[in-house]
Protein backbone atom coordinates (compact mmCIF):
# COMPACT_ATOMS: atom_id res chain seq x y z
CA UNK A 1 0.00 0.00 0.00
CA UNK A 2 1.35 3.41 -0.99
CA UNK A 3 1.16 6.05 1.75
CA UNK A 4 0.83 9.50 0.21
CA UNK A 5 2.06 12.47 2.26
CA UNK A 6 1.71 16.23 2.11
CA UNK A 7 5.49 16.72 2.29
CA UNK A 8 6.01 14.56 -0.80
CA UNK A 9 3.12 16.29 -2.56
CA UNK A 10 4.41 19.83 -2.08
CA UNK A 11 7.71 18.89 -3.72
CA UNK A 12 5.74 18.48 -6.95
CA UNK A 13 5.44 21.91 -8.55
CA UNK A 14 2.60 21.59 -11.02
CA UNK A 15 -1.07 20.85 -10.53
CA UNK A 16 -0.83 17.98 -13.02
CA UNK A 17 2.08 16.34 -11.14
CA UNK A 18 0.19 16.60 -7.87
CA UNK A 19 -2.95 15.17 -9.45
CA UNK A 20 -1.05 12.17 -10.82
CA UNK A 21 0.58 11.58 -7.43
CA UNK A 22 -2.84 11.42 -5.74
CA UNK A 23 -4.74 9.65 -8.52
CA UNK A 24 -6.26 6.30 -7.62
CA UNK A 25 -6.46 5.43 -11.34
CA UNK A 26 -10.16 4.70 -11.27
CA UNK A 27 -9.87 2.39 -8.28
CA UNK A 28 -12.06 3.41 -5.39
CA UNK A 29 -11.09 1.73 -2.13
CA UNK A 30 -12.26 -1.89 -1.93
CA UNK A 31 -13.89 -1.41 1.45
CA UNK A 32 -16.58 1.24 1.51
CA UNK A 33 -18.78 2.40 4.33
CA UNK A 34 -21.96 0.86 2.92
CA UNK A 35 -24.54 0.54 5.71
CA UNK A 36 -21.97 1.96 8.15
CA UNK A 37 -22.08 5.38 6.43
CA UNK A 38 -23.52 6.86 9.61
CA UNK A 39 -20.04 6.62 11.19
CA UNK A 40 -18.53 8.46 8.25
CA UNK A 41 -21.16 11.21 8.49
CA UNK A 42 -20.77 11.54 12.26
CA UNK A 43 -17.02 11.93 11.85
CA UNK A 44 -17.40 14.75 9.30
CA UNK A 45 -19.71 16.62 11.69
CA UNK A 46 -17.29 16.35 14.63
CA UNK A 47 -15.63 19.36 16.23
CA UNK A 48 -12.18 17.83 15.60
CA UNK A 49 -12.85 17.45 11.88
CA UNK A 50 -14.18 21.00 11.53
CA UNK A 51 -11.10 22.35 13.30
CA UNK A 52 -8.57 20.46 11.17
CA UNK A 53 -10.56 21.31 8.04
CA UNK A 54 -10.10 25.02 8.76
CA UNK A 55 -6.37 24.49 9.39
CA UNK A 56 -5.92 22.71 6.06
CA UNK A 57 -7.78 25.43 4.14
CA UNK A 58 -5.54 28.05 5.77
CA UNK A 59 -2.36 26.05 5.10
CA UNK A 60 -3.26 25.51 1.42
CA UNK A 61 -4.44 29.12 0.94
CA UNK A 62 -7.77 27.71 -0.23
CA UNK A 63 -6.10 26.45 -3.42
CA UNK A 64 -6.86 23.23 -5.29
CA UNK A 65 -4.18 20.65 -4.35
CA UNK A 66 -2.41 23.51 -2.57
CA UNK A 67 -1.18 25.01 -5.87
CA UNK A 68 -1.04 28.82 -5.94
CA UNK A 69 -3.15 30.20 -8.78
CA UNK A 70 -5.76 27.44 -8.42
CA UNK A 71 -7.94 29.23 -5.90
CA UNK A 72 -11.17 27.45 -5.03
CA UNK A 73 -14.19 29.72 -5.40
CA UNK A 74 -16.80 27.10 -4.54
CA UNK A 75 -17.11 24.53 -1.77
CA UNK A 76 -13.73 23.25 -0.60
CA UNK A 77 -13.37 19.52 -0.03
CA UNK A 78 -10.65 18.29 2.29
CA UNK A 79 -9.36 15.12 0.67
CA UNK A 80 -7.85 12.23 2.61
CA UNK A 81 -4.77 11.48 0.51
CA UNK A 82 -4.95 7.87 1.70
CA UNK A 83 -8.53 6.53 1.52
CA UNK A 84 -9.99 5.97 4.96
CA UNK A 85 -11.89 2.92 6.11
CA UNK A 86 -14.46 2.29 8.83
CA UNK A 87 -11.66 0.82 10.95
CA UNK A 88 -9.78 4.15 10.72
CA UNK A 89 -12.79 5.93 12.21
CA UNK A 90 -13.42 3.29 14.88
CA UNK A 91 -9.74 3.13 15.89
CA UNK A 92 -9.05 6.86 15.46
CA UNK A 93 -5.96 6.28 13.30
CA UNK A 94 -3.57 9.04 12.35
CA UNK A 95 -4.96 9.12 8.79
CA UNK A 96 -8.13 10.89 9.99
CA UNK A 97 -6.86 14.17 11.41
CA UNK A 98 -3.15 14.41 10.64
CA UNK A 99 -2.47 17.35 8.26
CA UNK A 100 0.27 15.24 6.65
CA UNK A 101 -2.47 13.19 4.96
CA UNK A 102 -4.95 15.94 3.99
CA UNK A 103 -5.21 18.40 1.06
CA UNK A 104 -7.75 20.93 -0.31
CA UNK A 105 -9.58 20.00 -3.51
CA UNK A 106 -12.55 21.07 -5.58
CA UNK A 107 -15.43 18.66 -6.08
CA UNK A 108 -14.27 17.92 -9.65
CA UNK A 109 -10.65 17.34 -8.64
CA UNK A 110 -11.78 15.06 -5.81
CA UNK A 111 -13.88 12.98 -8.21
CA UNK A 112 -11.07 12.89 -10.77
CA UNK A 113 -8.66 11.57 -8.12
CA UNK A 114 -11.07 8.81 -7.13
CA UNK A 115 -12.41 7.85 -10.53
CA UNK A 116 -9.39 8.55 -12.74
CA UNK A 117 -11.12 11.02 -15.07
CA UNK A 118 -8.56 13.73 -15.91
CA UNK A 119 -11.22 15.53 -17.97
CA UNK A 120 -12.70 16.76 -14.68
CA UNK A 121 -9.62 18.71 -13.58
CA UNK A 122 -8.90 22.33 -14.34
CA UNK A 123 -6.60 22.81 -17.29
CA UNK A 124 -3.86 25.43 -17.23
CA UNK A 125 -4.57 28.38 -19.52
CA UNK A 126 -3.11 28.16 -23.02
CA UNK A 127 -0.19 30.52 -23.57
CA UNK A 128 -1.08 32.91 -26.36
CA UNK A 129 1.23 34.95 -28.54
CA UNK A 130 0.63 37.67 -31.05
CA UNK A 131 -0.90 36.35 -34.32
CA UNK A 132 -0.81 32.71 -33.17
CA UNK A 133 -4.38 32.24 -34.47
CA UNK A 134 -3.64 33.88 -37.80
CA UNK A 135 -1.54 31.44 -39.90
CA UNK A 136 -0.70 33.92 -42.65
CA UNK A 137 0.88 36.36 -40.15
CA UNK A 138 3.37 33.93 -38.57
Per the prediction, the chain carries an average pLDDT of 85
109: pLDDT strictly greater than 90: yes
- Does 10 reside within a domain? yes
- State which residues form the domain around 58: 6-28+46-122
- Does 128 reside within a domain? no
Q: Report the pLDDT averaged over residues 73-95.
A: 92
- Does 101 reside within a domain? yes
Taking only the tens place, the pLDDT of each residue in 24-82 is 876 555 455 555 667 788 899 999 999 999 999 999 999 999 999 999 999 999 999 99
- Does 37 reside within a domain? no
- Does 108 reside within a domain? yes
- Does 60 reside within a domain? yes
Q: Report the pLDDT averaged over residues 76-92.
A: 91
18: pLDDT strictly greater than 90: yes
- Does 127 reside within a domain? no
Q: DSSP per residue over the chain, as a string?
A: -----HHHHTT--SHHHHHHHH--TT---SS--GGGHHHHHHHHTSHHHHHHHHHHHHHTTTBGGG-TT-B--S--EEEESS---HHHHHHT-HHHH-GGGEEEE-HHHHHHHHH--GGGSPPPPPP--TTTT-GGG-
Taking only the tens place, the pLDDT of each residue in 63-74 is 999 999 999 999
Does the global pTM surpass 0.85? no
- How many domains, in total, are found in the chain? 1
- Does 65 reside within a domain? yes
Amino acid sequence: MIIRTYHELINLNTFEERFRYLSLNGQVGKDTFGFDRIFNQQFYKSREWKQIRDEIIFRDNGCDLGVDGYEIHSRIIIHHMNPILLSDIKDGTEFLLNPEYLICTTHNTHNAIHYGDENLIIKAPISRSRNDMCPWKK
